[in-house]
Amino acid sequence: MLWKGKFVKHAITYKDYMNIKDQKRTEDLRDKLNVFWELSGQKILAIDKNYDTSKGSPVFTINGKYTTRGWTEWTQGFQYGCAALQFDVTGREEFLTMARRHTVDKMASHVSHFGVHDHGFNNVSTYGNLLRLMNEGRIPEREWERNFYELALKVSGAVQAKRWTPIKDGGFMYSFNGPHSLFVDTIRTVRVLMVAHKLGHGLMGENDERSSLLHRGVVHALTTAKYSVYYGEGRDSYDTESRTVHECVFNTNDGNFRCPNSQQGYTGYSTWTRGLSWAMLGFAEELEFLETVGDDELEGLGSREEIEAIFLKAAKATCDCFIAKTASDGIPYWDTGAPLLYKLGDDYLEKRSDPYNTFEPVDSSAAVMGAQGLLRLGKYLLDKGDKEGEKYIQAGLLSSESIFSEPYLSTDLNHQGLILHSIYHRPNGWDHVPAGSTIPNGESSMWGDYHAMELGLYLQRLMDDQKYYTFFGSTERA
């Protein structure tokens, strides 16, 4: 079988996608994951012991040591979420203690932070994971502790939803750039609205007007699918194949879309691959989430079939873009239009990625999120009886195999990172270029490491026939 689980029925070989030739199984990754969990535990402990939190949240490594980078505090939840995930897999109480203690001591400001679009990153990774573990019976049921986690998630969802820009055909939660700015990243952070809705919360406004967090979350996702994802349908001169754009710019006076833009990618007309991977994972997860929502809850948004069709179209377009624009081992370069990619040769996508080349860096963190998106979309399709899901499963397993292997897995215990060759902000020049190199390489990021652990947990649970891992497990009380 390609995949361990009830939804696998047969095998198909897809030779035209990345290097999807061998039939892979989740079980094939077991030994690699055993090594990964051993390394992750040691590195989590080392960061907790040695990192000076007074300097700000750890963001990425320089010379193997985590450091901060002033922009917004969007990575702290990943740090403590790693401890929760490590406990989930290993059952070691020291990691649960760490996750609880730091969530209580450090995360309150993130719950009430009105200035960012990152609530789903910081708070679902901490409060959400801890509440999920309680729902699953992995940690003792305590009413006060449950109420604490639930209250944090409810408030976080409402605070995030307050960052709202109405446009002619919907609206969106705007980025830290301001009300004109829609980031593709937020398709993953929108999950905090969905969690808060499931916990019975809404956004209260003037005159006690209540706004549905589910409705805002769905409308935001629909807006992202319409404007941030391109489908090769001729929206502009470069819309000849599927792609994503990091930032969409709107006129806040009349609600009209003005142009694509990019903060962290090369241009608004090429695909920043980490942004692509946020969309891959975000839409796949929201498809899974919609299956838990009643038709009556979607009233006023359009039919379930219409919403699902839009989400599925976006999920497929982004995943197909990843497969078509990624090196043969499932690791993408940082932007599909990066200016020096041509120097790697016309056949560079037919070769394994090269993090040590002299022209353009790869971004392993894009592979980490993208792999989970591919796997979730593949499962979703196979559960619906669509054999095309096997293509996405195989692509996800190929990327996962590379992620959990050298040169991407960091086996050096003196290096605090887990997954090497991550890129943060190439245009700003924030990423460390080691001596003797012309491009950034050899460093890790907190989002890359956290999502590698999420990917590992996702795969581990499938291997071990455990409860399927979702972000909305925090709302599913046993």
What's the pLDDT score for residue 70? Answer: 75
Taking the C-alpha atoms of residue 457 and residue 363, their distance in angstroms, rounded to an integer, is 21
What separation in angstroms does the CA of 222 have from each of 159, 171, 227, 228, 279? 20, 9, 9, 10, 12
Q: What is the model's pLDDT at position 17?
A: 52
> Which region holds residue 262: left if phi is over 0, alpha if psi is between -120 and 50, else beta?
beta
For the segment 146-186, what is each residue's pLDDT rounded down to a tens digit? 999 999 999 999 999 999 999 999 999 999 999 999 999 99
Q: Model-level pTM? A: 0.96
For strands 210-211 and 203-204, give the pairing.
antiparallel
- 250 sits in which H/E element: strand 247-250
β-partners of residue 333 are 362
Mean pLDDT of the 271-298 span: 98
The whole-angstrom distance between residue 249's C-alpha and the CA centroid of its chain comes to: 22
Q: What is the pLDDT of residue 13?
A: 37
The answer on pLDDT for 191 being more than 60 is yes
Q: How far apart are CA 75 and CA 400, in angstroms?
A: 22
Cα distances (Å, whole numbers) of residue 258 to 14, 120, 268:
39, 27, 12
- Position 4 confidence tier, pLDDT thresholds 50, 70, 90: very low
